[in-house]
Amino acid sequence: MTHIYFIGIGGIGMSAIARYYNAKGYKVSGYDKTPSPLTHELESEGIEVHYEDNIDFIPKDVAETLVVYTPAIPADMGELVYVKENGYRVVKRSKMLGEISEGQRCMAVAGTHGKTTTSTMTSHLFMDSGEGCSAFLGGISKNYGTNLLISPNDVIVAEADEFDRSFLQLFPEIAVITSMDADHLDIYGDAEHVQEAFKAFASQVSGTVIIRHGLDITPKDTSARILTYSFGNPEADFHAEPLEDGHFNLHYPGGVIEDCVVGIPGWVNVENATAASAIALTYGIAPEKIRKALACFSGVKRRFDIQVKKPGCVYIDDYAHHPQEITAALSSIRKSYPESRLTAVFQPHLYTRTRDFAPEFAKALSLADKVILLDIYPARELPIPGVTSEIIFKDITAGKVLLKRSELMDYLKDEPVEVLATLGAGDIDRFVGEIARMLENR
């Protein structure tokens, strides 16, 4: 096998694997629906990317070509149908990550939210401490400017994605589970099946599984040692004891790391830091190296990502697209800027998720003083009759306005802003630079 062809190469998980095989000397190319900053980076690294569903771009040497696809690609997509019907070896992204991690010491972070920041923070603890790791991340690390790290040792840090049960391809030595909330109900059907999948993931951990305190993972679910972590709960094996100005003492089974601080603000990031530190401490990284690394962690693009910070105006962009994530993001912003008026712009992601959690979205968004709600971003889905942003909008108790995506920038030009947050997993990120420039120039 000399050529690896990716269908959906611009996805954050797919692009990391494409970069990995490109760095290993394979011929890598692929398709994505639309150009993006990430696909432009792939092209600049020598990876050929095209943006039309056209079988002419698929390598013709079937025996020497492996095709990798993301389940976000529709089953009737022309290129995907062609490779399945013409003898190519075709595998899902998750299968590839499983194959890469086989025989390695895998440090995995799973959870319906929190996993991208926590896995990126974990990889930073390994890198900054000098231990090193290879890492496949679900976001762009601001410390390293990439979603892929490669080191010569046998440690892999992986974001373990529950979508389509992808994380069941991983067999970690140490794993964190941050949350097991209902999500992806188009895949799982109900919350009970979501929890069953996380328990199955826990059963595949060989060494230690570190769960957020209160999650229902017990010794009957896994033969691994079970430890817990928490922000503020002293009953957890690893817990952050809050001090002043975002500082905290990190308690762990062997002692305490005093006066820690994370390089990015928000209580949710202290909780993520506790989980990441739990992995690093369990692995054996020295406490003082962890303390130093946390302080210089720069964050992840689109995770509590401060774009503008000047007197009287702050703008934060975040990937939050589940009610629990929105609650965490907005409550963290509230705690950081308690005296300021908070305006949230939210783009719902997927018709099914909007349908399944409309009341919860409305409640979470109502933590803001004002909500600007956009149309649903469909991603891989077709419209569902009766499912629009209106079913969230009607129950929001804060000040609110419902806009089309195309109306957002004109509306924001005249909107007074003290603290602004843009939230969502769709294409709302395409506005971030423009909004930041507008606010900087006010």
Is-catalytic flag, 116? yes
> DSSP letter at 73?
S
Nearest to 304 by CA among 275, 272, 276, 261: 272
Q: What is the residue type of 366?
A: S
* Sign for the pseudo-dihedral over CA of 375, 376, 380, 382: negative
Structure-derived torsion over alpha carbons of residues 85, 89, 91, 97, reported in degrees to the nearest 10? -170
Catalytic choice (39, 65, 112, 116): 116
Element (H, E) at 26: none
Out of 39, 118, 159, 178, pick the active-site residue.
159
| Bridge partner residues of 158 (DSSP) | 108, 136
Closest by CA to 252, choosing from 223, 296, 295, 288, is 288
Q: Is the dihedral of CA 226, 230, 234, 240 positive or negative?
A: positive
What is the phi/psi pair of residue 327, to 5°?
A: -60, -45
Distance between CA atoms of residues 276 and 121, nearest Å: 6
Reported as half-sphere exposure (CB side, CA atoms, 13 A), residue 81 has a value of 7
Task: Name the token pair of 338.
Answer: 């308690």
Q: Known catalytic residue: 228?
A: no
Quick one: DSSP state of residue 103? T
Alpha carbon distance 25, 404 (integer Å): 45
- The active-site residue out of 39, 79, 115, 400 is 115
Q: Are 107 and 122 in contact (CB under 8 A)?
A: yes
115 catalytic per annotation: yes
How far lies 361's CA from each of 4, 54, 327, 353, 358, in Å? 40, 39, 9, 10, 5
> What phi and psi values does residue 110 have, to the nearest 5 degrees?
-115, 165
Task: Map tokens 């190469």 to a residue.
Answer: 9
Residue position matching structure tokens 């149309």: 375
* DSSP calls for 141-190: ETTTTEEEE--SSSEEEEEE--GGGGGGG---SEEEE-------HHHHSS
Which residues are identified as catalytic? Answer: 115-116, 159
